[in-house]
Structure 1
Amino acid sequence: MAATVLLFDLGDLRRKWGWFLALGIVMIVFGMIALAIMPAATIGTVLILGWLMIFSGIVEAVHGFQVRSWGGFFLHLIGGIVGVLIGLLVVTHPVAGALAWTLLFASFFTVIGLFRLIAATRLKFPNWGWAAFDGAVTLL
């Protein structure tokens, strides 16, 4: 049954391919605009992420109060407060926030790349070479 659903979905995709083409073109145009005004795009992205952190921190803290009897109440509450505080720092200091995000992502990709490379070379699962290649590219 799952295969027939998948084939039906592919039929819909084939008939409406123009929308995917239009979406791709729009994304390319927006990407070129972002590259042309990179500092503004960076600050804008950092501000959006900061506001998302503030909002999610508030929601997490409110949810923490709603489940006060749960054993993880304090962790939930502290996580929400930390999210709000970091979001406020990012919104009030967007350039420092951009530098911090850059450092965070660089660290993340370095660790993930190393893990993938080590796991692929140690476990030698089927097609492990592609996973090792992925890990090496992620390290770059």
Structure 2
Amino acid sequence: MTDFRTASASMTDALPRPGPGWGWILLYGIVSAGIGVLAFVWPFSATLAVTIVIGSFFLVSGVFAIIAGIAGKGYESRGYTIAYGILSLIVGLMLVFSPVAGAISLTLLVAIWLAVRGLMEIRWGIKIRAGRVLMLILGVVNLVLAILILVTVPFSALTLPGFILGFSFLLGGITAIASALSHRSGTPAFKMAS
């Protein structure tokens, strides 16, 4: 009887244990993929929503910069801080109250973001072992999408960012889901290549 328990315990110890936090990685992947699908279904709405949200961030940043510049007597960069705040307010107002025009500007920023993200994913994909192929594919896709945006501006600026963000979030979510399932089986989540 003792031999059976010992053999059973050693077999259980030999099985790989799920990596910690795999459920959170899976949840992130599902949420990301869901956001991607919604943005893909409603690209115009996604583009305008992102434009308004970013405009709101500029407005808040501008207000606080102006307050800091006015209140910061003796502060060496006081003039710069106030000027930065005014510029942020102008950009924020444009994005919030004229989201169509802001979307065209935002389209260029999305292209830059996708290009940088793609390069980072390719670099990361070269370093890791688990999920290497998916990470490299994601990086290449994001670079191609960035080029696609730059080639089609301004004609598709009102829907293309929604499609591209949706596709990027969807593919990123699928990558995270695959990573979580691999991590659940005992593979380290971020194991680097030797």
Q: Which TM-score band applies after superposition, normalised by the shorter structure?
A: 0.5 to 0.7
How far did 1:44 drift?
A: 0.5
Runs of 4+, deviation exceeding 6 Å: none
Partner of 1:77: 82
Distance, in Å, in 2 between the alignment partners of 1:105 and 1:30 is 16
- SS of the residue corresponding to residue 75 of structure 2 reads coil
Normalising by structure 1, report the TM-score.
Answer: 0.65
Distance, in Å, in 2 between the alignment partners of 1:89 and 1:105 is 17
Partner of 2:28: 23
Per-residue Cα deviation, 1:37-61 (whole angstroms, up to 9, x for no partner): 0100110110000011000100111
Distance, in Å, in 1 between the alignment partners of 2:106 and 2:41 is 21
Amino acid at match of 2:79: F
Matches within 5 A, 1:39-78: 39-78=44-83
Structure 1 unmatched ranges of 5 or more:
1-12, 117-133
Distance, in Å, in 2 between the alignment partners of 1:70 and 1:89 is 29
Normalising by structure 2, report the TM-score.
Answer: 0.48
Matches within 5 A, 1:1-140: 14-106=19-111, 108=112, 137=143, 140=147
Task: Name the count of aligned residue pairs.
Answer: 106
Per-residue Cα deviation, 1:79-133 (whole angstroms, up to 9, x for no partner): 0011011101111100110011113444x47x97xxx9xxxxxxxxxxxxxxxxx
Distance, in Å, in 1 between the alignment partners of 2:56 and 2:31 is 25
- Supply the RMSD in Å over aligned alpha carbons: 2.8
How far did 1:64 drift?
A: 1.1
Larger radius of gyration: 2
Distance, in Å, in 2 between the alignment partners of 1:21 and 1:42 is 26
Distance, in Å, in 2 between the alignment partners of 1:104 and 1:38 is 17
Distance, in Å, in 2 between the alignment partners of 1:101 and 1:45 is 9
Query: RCO greater where, 1 or 2, for CA within 8 Å and sep 6 or more?
Result: 2
More helix by share: 1
Identity score, percent: 28
Distance, in Å, in 1 between the alignment partners of 2:56 and 2:101 is 15
Distance, in Å, in 2 between the alignment partners of 1:22 and 1:31 is 14
